[in-house]
Chains A and B, each alone.
Chain A
Amino acid sequence: RKEVEQDPGPFNVPEGATVAFNCTYSNSASQSFFWYRQDCRKEPKLLMSVYSSGNEDGRFTAQLNRASQYISLLIRDSKLSDSATYLCVVNKAAGNKLTFGGGTRVLVKP
């Protein structure tokens, strides 16, 4: 079983709609959680950190469920520019060692 698992998608989303997807992680010792965004043939970039209380950044909302070991990302009012692959990332306590999921591809269409 992979340490971090994601639905690869693609999630085809009408412009203006809401889309949400999850990521599960297997190591209960994981301490920090992030969502990275990766555009086609580009490098990953940090989208947002995920806090235990849940956090929001504009149209993006991230949630963490430690009991069930998953994190989620919700995108409201989807824009064409939101089309990308969203990478779920988990960091264990020892050092800044990121473990990436395989990514969820989101395609926002007019």
Chain B
Amino acid sequence: EAGVVQSPRYKIIEKKQPVAFWCNPISGHNTLYWYLQNLGQGPELLIRYENEEAVDDSQLPKDRFSAERLKGVDSTLKIQPAELGDSAVYLCASSLGGGESYEQYFGPGTRLTVT
């Protein structure tokens, strides 16, 4: 069974440019998460989707970050404009359901460098 797929794996952009990350969750997983992980720290949740609905976006900096999951499967996370402090790894995860008993499976992440 394929795991969570993310692309691109690496991205280097100049500050003030836009950037987008794509995630394809494990087939059948209704719940999708985007996390941000800074060097030497644990992942921090940005947004959680149940199917196509964003049920928790309280940690998403909405002035520059946006996300969508139009058909309840793939998801895109966008940053516009990017700032130097956005350099981090952006991880996508998915789970069968939104309850705490469901294991979250992580993708390999997109490593963003903003110069």
Contact = CB atoms under 8 A, between A and B. Distances in A.
B108 A97 contact: no
Contacts of B103: 46
Interface residues of A, number: 22
Interface residues of B, number: 24
Interface string B17-50: 0000000000000010000000011111100100
Contacts of A71: none
Nearest to A87: B42
A88 B100 CA distance: 15
Contacts of A95: 48, 55-56, 98-100
B51 interface: no
B91 interface: yes
Contact of A102 (B40, B55, B107): B40
Contacts of A102: 40-42
Contacts of A46: 103-104
A42 interface: yes
B91 A97 contact: no
A44 to B, nearest CB: 5
B75 interface: no
Contacts of A44: 43, 91, 106
A87 to B, nearest CB: 5
A43 B106 contact: yes
Contacts of A68: none
A45 B98 contact: no
A40 to B, nearest CB: 11
A17 interface: no
A10 to B, nearest CB: 11
Contact of A31 (B44, B100, B102): B100
Interface of A: 4, 8, 31-32, 42-46, 87, 89, 91, 93, 95-103
